[in-house]
Amino acid sequence: MFARVLGHERQKNLLQRAVASSRLPHAYLFEGPEGIGKRLIALALTKMLFCANGNSCSECPACRKIDHHNHPDLHQINADGSSIKIEQIRALQKELSYRPLEAPYKVCLIDGAEKMNLAAANALLKTLEEPRAQTLLILLTPTPDAVLPTIRSRCQRLPFSRIPKEKLQEVLVEQLKIDDTQSHVLATLSEGSFKKALGKDRELYLQRRRDLLKNLAALSPGSVIPLLDLAQKLAEEKDLLFEILEIIQAFYRDLLLLKHGSPLEELVNVDMLETLEHVSRKEDVSSLLGKLSALMTSRRHLERNVNRQLAMEVLLMRLVA
Ligand SMILES: [Zn+2]
């Protein structure tokens, strides 16, 4: 029934057993990294409950409505901007006060549950404290620690872990028709996230990664103009900046591994050995550690919304020093 969702066998079995024995809790908290399939599993679970043929057929009207996000008994809440607001929870509570229209249950997905602001979380707490029959709440979060403890304790927690790299690599080779080197890079950088490996980050992780790292490796302490140019280009990548920092971080980590004589398959950038070896000759372990720490510092600064251009200039100066 979960055939179309890869991995997570233990979690799928557990949910299947809960449905089969009619022992669903009133609320689940699905926790685990972004993009590994939590939401897909929540939707598959909804199909199990709603399907007219009892087998998540994907063809009956109920299954099709779920696929098209227009089933009247499936409600989904996402962050409105950076937070989930109390109005959204109130609207949900109103919905939940009616009986299901077509399905045996009302299901509500709250995606990014850590984004509920305090007022919203306290409002939801009421719903969790007085659960209604025929209602299932599924909260999804990558950071359970950021969810109110009182909410966490009223949900059945179901942790999900990253897809193992080898498994992800297998799927990538099959689905994308790419070679082993590319699938290695993609599987490693996406850290077990299908969403990352198959989504908008793919091109970033393959070709643009190479261009970026070559530009970076070509910088020298004296090359001020190219450094400022690169800083500006990076600063313009508002939406991808954290992914870009991860790419640069993986590059310096590779250099460190090279210094330690680690086996090549532990590296991320296996397709750039020449560049890695070239840069590695100019670096020692302590300067590499310093650069990795500079990367972490700039990430923290960016999380606090500092001036991106300035943050990138400071970072690059540290990296070429
Ligand atoms: Zn169906």
Token representation of residue 69: 């996000």
Asked if residue 55 has pLDDT above 90, the reply is no
Please give the average per-residue pLDDT across 183-195, as a whole number. 80
Q: How confident is the model at residue 16 (pLDDT cuts 50, 70, 90)?
A: very high
Token representation of residue 244: 């870009």
The Cα–Cα gap between 201 and 198 comes to 7
66 alpha carbon to ligand 1 midpoint, in Å? 9
Render pLDDT for 271-319 as a digit per residue (tens, 0 to 9): 999 999 999 998 999 999 999 999 999 999 998 888 999 999 999 999 9
Render pLDDT for 60-79 as a digit per residue (tens, 0 to 9): 999 999 999 999 999 999 98
**CATH architecture designation of domain 9-159:** 3-Layer(aba) Sandwich (3.40)
Please give the average per-residue pLDDT across 92-116, as a whole number. 94
Q: Phi, psi (5° rounding) for residue 299?
A: -60, -45
Domain ranges of the chain: 9-159, 164-199, 201-320
138 alpha carbon to ligand 1 midpoint, in Å? 20
The pairs formed by 93-100 with CB atoms below 8 angstroms and a separation of 24 or more are 93/123, 93/126, 93/127, 96/127, 96/132, 96/135, 97/132, 99/134, 100/73, 100/134
**Residue 48 CA to chain centroid, in angstroms?**
25
200 alpha carbon to ligand 1 midpoint, in Å? 31
pLDDT at 4: 66
The Cα–Cα gap between 315 and 294 comes to 7
Instruction: List b or e across 228-255, with b for residues whose CB sees 16 or more CB atoms inside 10 angstroms.
Output: eebbeebbebeebbebbbbbbbbbbbbb
Asked if residue 51 has pLDDT above 90, the reply is yes
The Cα–Cα gap between 69 and 85 comes to 21
Beta-bridge mates of residue 110: 77, 139
Name the percent of the chain lying above pLDDT 90: 64
42 alpha carbon to ligand 1 midpoint, in Å? 15
Average model confidence (pLDDT) across the chain: 90
71 alpha carbon to ligand 1 midpoint, in Å? 12
Asked if residue 180 has pLDDT above 70, the reply is yes
**Is 9-159's fold the same as 201-320's?**
no
The Cα–Cα gap between 78 and 109 comes to 8
Q: Which fold has domain 201-320?
A: Zinc Finger, Delta Prime; domain 3 (1.20.272)
62 alpha carbon to ligand 1 midpoint, in Å? 6
Alpha-helical runs (H) found in the chain: 9-20, 38-50, 61-67, 86-96, 118-129, 149-152, 165-176, 180-189, 194-198, 201-203, 209-218, 224-236, 241-259, 273-282, 285-303, 308-320
Asked if residue 130 has pLDDT above 70, the reply is yes
17 alpha carbon to ligand 1 midpoint, in Å? 19
Q: How confident is the model at residue 117 (pLDDT cuts 50, 70, 90)?
A: very high
pLDDT at 3: 63
Token representation of residue 84: 């989930």
pLDDT at 2: 66
The Cα–Cα gap between 189 and 207 comes to 13
Alpha-carbon radius of gyration of the chain:
23
Token representation of residue 56: 């998540």
pLDDT at 34: 85
64 alpha carbon to ligand 1 midpoint, in Å? 7
Render pLDDT for 215-259 as a digit per residue (tens, 0 to 9): 999 998 888 899 999 999 999 998 889 889 989 999 999 999 998
Q: Which residue has the higher pLDDT, 109 or 259?
A: 109
30 alpha carbon to ligand 1 midpoint, in Å? 23
Asked if residue 48 has pLDDT above 80, the reply is yes
51 alpha carbon to ligand 1 midpoint, in Å? 4
72 alpha carbon to ligand 1 midpoint, in Å? 15
16 alpha carbon to ligand 1 midpoint, in Å? 16
48 alpha carbon to ligand 1 midpoint, in Å? 8
pLDDT at 114: 96
Asked if residue 94 has pLDDT above 90, the reply is yes
Asked if residue 200 has pLDDT above 80, the reply is no
Kindly report the pTM of this predicted structure.
Answer: 0.71
